Amino acid sequence: MSLKVWIDGQLFDKENARISVYDHGLLYGDGVFEGIRVYAGHIFEADAHLRRLFESAKAIRLTIPLPADRILAAVEQTVKANSFTDCYIRLIVTRGVGYLGLNPNKCSNPSVIVITDTIEMYPPEMYRNGMSVITASVVRNHSNSLSPRIKSLNYLNNILAKIEAIDAGVPEAIMLNINGNVAECTGDNIFIVKDGVVRTPGTAEGLLEGVTRGVMLRLCHQLGIPSNETTLQRHDLYRADECFLTGTGAEVVPVTRIDGRPVGNAEPGPITRRLIEAFHKLVRA
């Protein structure tokens, strides 16, 4: 059975799901999106994702043509149409069809698209044994150019760093900001553990406020694990006892080597394992 894709109020077979070549989402990356998970038939952190979608749209002066409750209904309709109980959702809002020029006022109506499918970010053994990452030479966008807090369709900054990781034979790269501080990875937020404290960069360092990142900070609080948002530099990465990444697609994955250097004893640490277990219990619940 062909997967169904929701576009502006209609369900289309995956093979027939189309947008115009004049859509400014395609021409200029002018739009916003969310990646969302469904676990056991429930949309995970739906309110947080929808809130960020509308905040991102507001930041680029894009008016989403539907209220949040109707978008949620469209997501639920698409999940049901594809008979999924566990899946990944890509919710997209583009500026809409325009002309061959930058002026967004020439676009007719924004488009809303809902895609549901399965996703596997990394091989299962990486979740068990940990992954190796590098630090990229490509720095994160400056907040006064294109704010990383906007989850926009323009991901070229991340893609260039991802290419560096692939060229180095690893699946992910850590991105620094213009000051040399740790921001995030190409698609995931980063955490380290040092002396029993979980640490992650704050939003001022140039990162997307990941929904799973927020869940992880809440789990730390619930489990009594000290945590904070702080400035991290490459030196802190190399001295870390543990490291892990979080993201909607990636979920929670341990990091055991950074730039070829072992993190701790080069295997997932006890706090990382404890948080991964707590996350799995949460999504199953």
Domain range for 34: 4-117
Annotated catalytic residue 58? no
Q: Where are the alpha helices (DSSP H) in 224-261?
A: 234-239
Among 117, 141, 158, residue at a domain's last position? 117
Same domain, 228 and 252: yes
Same domain, 136 and 200: yes
CB-based contact 183:206 (threshold 8 Å): yes
Task: Record the tokens describing residue 228, joined without a space.
Answer: 């904070």
- Phi, psi (degrees; rounded to nearest 5) at 161: -70, -35
Q: Tokens 């002018």 belong to which residue?
A: 30
Average pLDDT over residues 227-244: 98
Same domain, 93 and 229: no
Rg (CA), the chain: 19
HSE value, Cβ hemisphere, 13 Å, CA-based, for 240: 33
pLDDT band at 285 (very low <50, low <70, confident <90, very high): confident
- Residue 92, helix vs strand vs coil: strand
CATH number at 165 reads 3.20.10.10
Same domain, 45 and 70: yes
Q: Which residue has the higher pLDDT, 177 or 120?
A: 177
- Of 131, 78, 117, the C-alpha closest to 249 is 117
Beta strands per DSSP E along 54-196: 87-94, 111-117, 131-135, 172-176, 182-185, 189-194
Same domain, 43 and 98: yes
pLDDT band at 264 (very low <50, low <70, confident <90, very high): very high
- Quickly count: other Cβ atoms within 10 Å of residue 19's Cβ: 16
265-277 pLDDT, tens digit each: 999 999 999 999 9
Among 95, 117, 139, residue at a domain's last position? 117
CATH number at 51 reads 3.30.470.10
Across the strands, what pairs with 114?
Answer: 6, 91
Same domain, 137 and 81: no
Check 151, 162, 194, 281 and give the catalytic one. 151
pLDDT of residue 120: 86
**Distance set, CA 284 to CA 9, 44, 75, 277 (Å):** 31, 10, 20, 11
Same domain, 128 and 105: no
Round to whole Å and give the CA distance between 188 and 101.
33
Same domain, 192 and 245: yes
How many helices (H) and strands (E) are present in the chain, helices listed first? Answer: 8, 15
Same domain, 107 and 132: no
Same domain, 206 and 252: yes
pLDDT band at 97 (very low <50, low <70, confident <90, very high): very high
Task: Give this prediction's pTM.
Answer: 0.95
Among 93, 117, 141, residue at a domain's last position? 117
Q: Which residue has the higher pLDDT, 113 or 284?
A: 113
pLDDT surpasses 80 at 1:
no
CB-based contact 150:57 (threshold 8 Å): no
- Residue 147, helix vs strand vs coil: coil
**Distance set, CA 21 to CA 28, 98, 114 (Å):** 11, 9, 18
pLDDT band at 160 (very low <50, low <70, confident <90, very high): very high
Same domain, 179 and 279: yes
Same domain, 163 and 90: no
Number of domains in the chain: 2
CB-based contact 143:137 (threshold 8 Å): no
Average pLDDT over residues 185-204: 97
